[in-house]
Amino acid sequence: MPWTRRHLLTLEELSRAEIDQIHAAARVFKRTLQPGGARVPVLAGRTIVNLFLEPSTRTRLAFDMAAKRLGADVIPFDAASSSTTKGETLRDTAENIQALQADMIVIRHAAAGSPLYLSRILDIPVINAGDGAHEHPTQGLLDTFTMIEHLGDLRGRKVVILGDILFSRVARSNIHALTKLGAAVTLVGPSTLVPDSFTALGVKVSHDLRGALADAEVVMLLRIQHERQAAGHFPSLGEYTSMFGLNKARASWLNPRAIIMHPGPINRGVEIDSELADGERSVILEQVTNGIAVRMAVLFLCAGGRPEQLPT
């Protein structure tokens, strides 16, 4: 089935076949990341603007790396020194970037729906790098890619997502991808951050950490998204950690083969202790590396790349 989308806005709208197609291209691109791997300048002559209006380390750098490995010119956007500080709107900013002959925009923005909005007013592809608490599609793609590398086919695999689900775009994108790939997803955390309404997305909700961990083949930790919470959803960070933080004692409830994931940034000692984040079951830095291959696949496909251009 040929790839037909110009934009990547959400994983909610992708089919399983489309997710498989991105993963398949990412597997090819991952081989090119090895020492001596072939360069793939299929986007030579294209210009990609990384319009990041919220902070980022991993996503922005991985999109930079991905675009450069594909031969594209990458223009970073420095929000602090841009005319957004003088009141220029997102629409005007984006239309000016298009007028400056950009071929593609990668956007991170605090407002849910801002990538969809740009996709409706621009003629160039728009890639969502995280929009508010809505979605972070490339994170969901790289997380599921990493799980498949460790577990194979995800049908029936038990994945626990633990933490601040309510305000997490990473959780939403993972829920959409994992349910399409057939995984059994359980969301765990305090009821204020993991409301029962999430069951409408085809997942289980649990507040029994021990029971959920005992069954898990993957446990994904999420940080508390203070920047999106208007009011406290638990008495204190210390109390959250005492109830739901992953420490050595709680990790002993896990199946010894279970893998530990985190999208970053990590708040060490809050949602996860360092000895687990850095331990042998952690695949956190593999997630980061896989982020380059997955974003190469997304940029390649949305720019109109054809299968015959993929390296063999």
Q: How many CB atoms lie under 10 A from the CB of residue 293?
A: 26
Q: End-to-end alpha-carbon separation of the chain, Å? A: 19
Shortest Å, Cβ 54 to ligand CP: 8
Helical pair 169-180 and 16-32, crossing angle rounded to 10 deg: 110
Rg of the chain (C-alpha set): 19
Identity of the residue, 139 or 282, whose beta carbon is nearer to ligand CP in the bound complex = 139
Identity of the residue, 119 or 174, whose beta carbon is nearer to ligand CP in the bound complex = 174
Identity of the residue, 157 or 295, whose beta carbon is nearer to ligand CP in the bound complex = 295
Contact 224, 240 (CB under 8 A): yes
Shortest Å, Cβ 118 to ligand CP: 19
Contact 226, 251 (CB under 8 A): no
Which distant-in-sequence residues (6+ apart) come within 8 Å of 240 by Cβ?
A: 190, 224, 234, 270, 271
Q: How open is the CA angle 295-298-300, to the nearest 5 degrees?
A: 105
Shortest Å, Cβ 215 to ligand CP: 26
Q: How many residues in the shown chain lie near ligand CP by CB under 6 A?
A: 10
Contact 186, 212 (CB under 8 A): yes
Residues 209-248 interacting with ligand CP (rule: CB under 6 A): none
Shortest Å, Cβ 129 to ligand CP: 7
Q: Distance between CA atoms of 171 and 134, rounded to whole angstroms?
A: 9
CA distances from 118 to 105, 125, 137, 233 (A): 9, 9, 16, 32
Shortest Å, Cβ 4 to ligand CP: 27
Binding mask 115-154 for ligand CP (x = CB under 6 A): ---------------x-----x--x---------------
Shortest Å, Cβ 108 to ligand CP: 7
Q: Distance between CA atoms of 115 and 121, rounded to whole angstroms?
A: 10
Residues 50-69 interacting with ligand CP (rule: CB under 6 A): 56-59
Shortest Å, Cβ 259 to ligand CP: 17
Identity of the residue, 11 or 40, whose beta carbon is nearer to ligand CP in the bound complex = 11
Phi, psi of 135 (to 5 degrees): -145, 155
Identity of the residue, 19 or 222, whose beta carbon is nearer to ligand CP in the bound complex = 222
Three-state secondary structure call for residue 291: helix
Is 265 near ligand CP (CB under 6 A)? yes
Binding mask 8-47 for ligand CP (x = CB under 6 A): ----------------------------------------
Identity of the residue, 203 or 220, whose beta carbon is nearer to ligand CP in the bound complex = 220
Identity of the residue, 205 or 272, whose beta carbon is nearer to ligand CP in the bound complex = 272
Three-state secondary structure call for residue 186: strand
Name the site residues for ligand CP (rule: CB under 6 A): 56-59, 130, 136, 139, 263-265
